[in-house]
Structure 1
Amino acid sequence: MMAVVDLRIFTEPQQGADYETLLRVAKTAEQLGYDGFFRSDHYLKMGSASGLPGPTDAWITLAGLARETERIRLGTLMTAATFRLPGVLAIQVAQVDAMSGGRVELGLGAGWYEQEHRAYGIPFPKAKFDRLEEQLAIVTGLWATEVGKTFDFTGRHYQLADSPALPKPVQSRVPVLLGGLGPTRTPALAARYATEFNLPFASVEQTVEQFARVRAAAEEIGRPADDLVYSNALVACVGRTEAEVNRRAAAIGREPVELRANGLAGTPAEVLERIERFRAVGSRRIYLQILDLDDLDHLELIATEVMPHLA
């Protein structure tokens, strides 16, 4: 029996989307049976133009969606460690987890887009990966501390003393997602802290190499490699006909040939064949990057013509 592949919706609201748009997409995704609704954590559009109506905050958005959805998993790909102090982040995620009834997942990354930091007065420090490592230790440490006990941490970048380590999430273990193509430190951090390892916008060949590094890093510290979920994030552009594929590609400013080479593009049959290549090398979850958030028919097409074949 072939392994199931979950499909999740992944949005980039900084490119231009307000909360109501995200709510429509999340509710539609839930109704259509997608496993999760995830969003990026950015405050500035990539590329030219302003990204009207402007950015929405990832965790405020997810708090709203937590109260307006019932089943779908909610999370970030990826929250920037530069945006929030780790203790505050632990509180925010635990609270949204409670608001959702235990449906939240935390994707956490080092932060990389310097321009958005300048635009909104957010410090863009050096040694970002070191800070990420300390954040992971703190956030997971706070959640794991028994009620009634305190948590202390002394690091180079963060220090916590006598923290009550509250509130606790509803889930006994909030899934933590890490990702990226770094050959050494990224796999090591994933092996130590992650529930899921996600590879964004990578080829099948890159996926094979990086999944192998993460599996080896897990086994090196005595953790079963299969204890982690392995996933990919890929742009989606699916159409019933070539004309529909071309229309959807034009709507997001991309070329069908490029999308077919680097993402999940084409007819449902073509996309299924592409997903099967990722499933064959160990991917068990695909995050579909949906860039035209007004095209809800796109989500329905994938849900009816692709999703059933992955179960």
Structure 2
Amino acid sequence: MDTSLSFRIFTEPQQGATYDDLLRVARTAEDAGYDAFFRSDHYLKMGSVTGLPGPTDAWITLAGLARETSRLRLGTLMTAGTFRLPGPLAISVAQVDQMSGGRVEFGIGSGWYEAEHTAYGIPFGSLRERFERYAEQLEIITGLWATPEGQSFSFAGKHYRLTDSPALPKPAQRPRPPVLIGGMGARRTPALAARFADEFNLPFVDVDSAVAQYERVAAACTEIGRDPAEIIRSAALVVCVGRDEAEIARRAKAIGREVDELRRNGLCGTPAEVVDRLGTWRQRTGIARVYLQLLDLSDLDHVELIAAEVAPQLR
């Protein structure tokens, strides 16, 4: 059994970042040997940051990065299902996959941040409605991608109806880009993951909660006759690594967090401490990928430090 761990950078541009900021991080990550560059899909800042100069669109960003990087996998944690209709979203993602030469990974969620919907005039709906739409979107998007060229795709659901779609364009990856699903929902989320996910991601949870949720996903797979091992397990964790306590404290202050809190809830400490913590995660949960939530996008030395002193010990 492969116990190596791949390292991915995860950014939150709604907190304040330009496209050029993201490009610098992505290029640094690519040069440093990271596996992938991911970003959130939000239109409104969170917390006390200014958020200036304002949000950037996830799929427009990834289209640009597709042409300005050569190796990194590119994706979202997670595309908000409330933001886009499934048919046009399938077109956008397929196009970015073509633009990247087949490097896109498609994370999608139901959408949860009501304030950004209010701020930008996006319909939100109840949790039940959002999840119903989310399930239909997964069926539609994967169905469009899987439809053979020359055939058409139709779908009649409660919220969406497609009639005789040519199901074009196709992504570069066949039958489709990997689909990522995540979250802590106890019943519906594992069931959807069992049907559609190539990877299941848990963001910012503790190890015990992660073990329980991965087990729910495995049980949901078994229930429908799917091998649970087909789904890659991953986790997203905030990162704050320093060569000594002073550097750790400086990096924590830069993102408005306390060192003790980060040590409890994220990947915080010296390279040796973070290697030990990730070793525990890998041993207890079986994760194969870790998404490092990088909140200070100006600190490229942080990206390079982790690549040099943490990642090689776990690959």
2 CA distance for matches of 1:274 and 1:186? 27
Q: Report what 2:166 is aligned to.
A: 164
Partner of 1:233: helix, strand, or coil? Answer: strand
- Alignment partner of 2:238 out of 235, 243, 253: 235
Residue deviations 1:139-189 (CA, integer Å, cap 9, x gap): 000000010000000000000000000000000121010000111100000
The aligned runs of 1:30-41 (5 Å cut-off) are 30-41=30-41
Take 1:130 and 1:265, find their aligned partners in 2: how far apart are those partners? 38
Deviating beyond 4 angstroms after TM superposition, the runs of 4 or more aligned structure 1 residues are: none
Q: Which residue of 2 aligns with 1:278?
A: 281
Q: Is 1:307 paired with 2:311?
A: yes
Residues 221-279 of structure 1 show CA distances to partners (whole Å, capped at 9, x for unaligned) of 11100001000000000000000000000000000000000000000000011101111
Which of the numbers 171, 189, 194 marks the counterpart of 2:192? 189
Letter in 1 for 2:151: K
Match of 1:200 in 2: 203
Secondary structure of 1:37's counterpart equals: strand
Identity %: 68
- Aligned 8 A contact 2:15 2:49 in 1: no
User: What letter is aligned with 1:30?
Assistant: E
Q: How does 1:1-311 map to 2 (within 5 A)?
A: 3-126=3-126, 127-172=129-174, 173-280=176-283, 281-311=285-315
Tell me which amino acid in the other structure corresponds to 2:287: S
Q: 1:141 and 1:102 mapped to 2: Cα distance?
A: 18
Alignment partner of 1:116: what SS? helix
- Label 1:177 to 1:2 Cα distance change in 2 as closer, same or farther (>3 A): closer
CA RMSD of aligned residues (A): 0.8
Question: Runs of 5+ in structure 1 lacking a partner?
Answer: none
Secondary structure in structure 1 of the residue aligned to 2:45: coil
SS at structure 2 position matched to 1:117:
helix
Matches of 1:2 and 1:9, distance apart in 2: 21
Partner amino acid for 2:222? E
Please report how far the alpha carbon of residue 6 of structure 1 lies from its aligned counterpart in structure 2 after TM superposition: 0.5
Equivalent residues, number? 311
Aligned residue for 2:48, secondary structure, equals: coil
Contact 2:9 2:34 in 1 (8 A): yes
Q: Which amino acid aligns with 2:159?
A: H
1:174 maps to a residue whose letter is P
Deviation at residue 2 of structure 1 after TM alignment: 5.7
Give structure 2 stretches of 5+ with no counterpart: none
Q: Mark the CA change 1:49 to 1:286 in structure 2 (over 3 Å): closer, same or farther.
A: closer
Distance 2:144 2:2 in 1: 38
Which letter maps to 1:6? S
What are the Cα deviations for residues 48-67 of structure 1, in whole angstroms up to 9, with x where unaligned? 35300000000000000000
Distance in 2 between the 1:97 and 1:184 partners?
31
Rounded Cα–Cα distance in structure 2 between residues aligned with 1:167 and 1:222: 31
Q: Secondary structure at 2:163's aligned position in 1?
A: strand
User: TM-score, length-normalised on structure 1?
Assistant: 0.99
